[in-house]
């Protein structure tokens, strides 16, 4: 198989991943993350964005997001709140999996261990991100992916009315 064929098959993996996270955050109560205050959707023509919509605020509007997805928009950026020891906001971009905005918890006492505690905290956040991405990739390359994709489409179409 030609490498460009494989590349094209998985070129939108970041958009699929964020859409999957969006769907799970709205339907699955057995996860350790929820939607944050900002989600960015985009509509594309020939791989170029022609319309971009930002939904922001507390409990980012699911109805608007579902409507955009049903019209062919993709999730291109989002804030997630990981529920670890406390809620950890993280901002993810689909195009390159760039993430930012990780907020460090306030430490009781600043001492020599402060740096090590912060590194440990970042490592736990990254490990959790890797875990959910790994779960997504296992699903994405499995035979169950098409059923899950159709389930997401059905959810979006039913919940945008």
Average pLDDT over residues 68-83: 90
What average pLDDT does the segment 84-101 reach? 86
Residue 109 has pLDDT above 80, yes or no: no
Enter the pTM of the model: 0.84
Q: In whole numbers, what is the pLDDT of the chain averaged over residues?
A: 84
Domain boundaries, the chain: 3-158
Higher pLDDT: 115 or 160? It is 115
- Three-state SS string across the chain, please? CCHHHHHHHHCCHHHHHHHHHHHHHHHCCCCCEEEEEEEEEEEEECCEEEEEEEEECCCCCHHHHHHHHHCCCEEEEEEEEEECCCEEEEEEECCCCCEECCCCCCCCCCCCCHHHHHHHHHHHHHHHHHHHHHHHHHHHCCCCHHHHHHHHHHHHHHCCC
Exposure string for 101-115, b = 16+ CB within 10 A, e = fewer: eeeeeeeeeeeeeee
The string of pLDDT tens digits covering residues 9-30 is 556 889 999 999 999 988 888 8
| pLDDT exceeds 80 at position 80 | yes
- The pLDDT value recorded for residue 77 is 94
Higher pLDDT, 59 or 18: 18
94 or 61: whose pLDDT is higher?
Answer: 94
pLDDT value of residue 111: 63
pLDDT in tens, 142-158: 999 999 988 888 888 77
pLDDT for 64 beyond 90: no
pLDDT value of position 4: 55
Say what the pLDDT of residue 65 is: 86
């Amino acid at each position: 198989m030609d490498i460009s064929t494989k590349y094209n098959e998985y070129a939108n993996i970041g958009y699929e991943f964020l859409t999957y996270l969006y769907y799970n955050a709205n339907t699955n109560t057995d996860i350790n993350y929820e939607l944050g205050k900002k989600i960015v959707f985009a509509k594309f023509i020939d791989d170029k964005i022609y319309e971009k919509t930002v939904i922001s605020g507390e409990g980012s509007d699911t109805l608007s997001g579902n409507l955009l997805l049903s019209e062919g928009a993709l999730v291109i950026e989002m804030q997630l709140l990981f529920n670890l020891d406390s809620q950890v906001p993280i901002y993810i971009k689909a195009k390159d999996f760039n993430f930012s905005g990780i907020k460090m918890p306030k430490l009781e006492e600043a001492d020599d261990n402060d740096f090590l505690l912060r590194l440990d905290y970042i490592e736990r956040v990254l490990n959790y991100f890797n875990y959910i991405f790994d779960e997504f990739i296992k699903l994405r390359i499995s035979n169950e992916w098409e059923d899950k994709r159709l389930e997401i489409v059905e959810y979006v179409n039913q919940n945008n009315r």
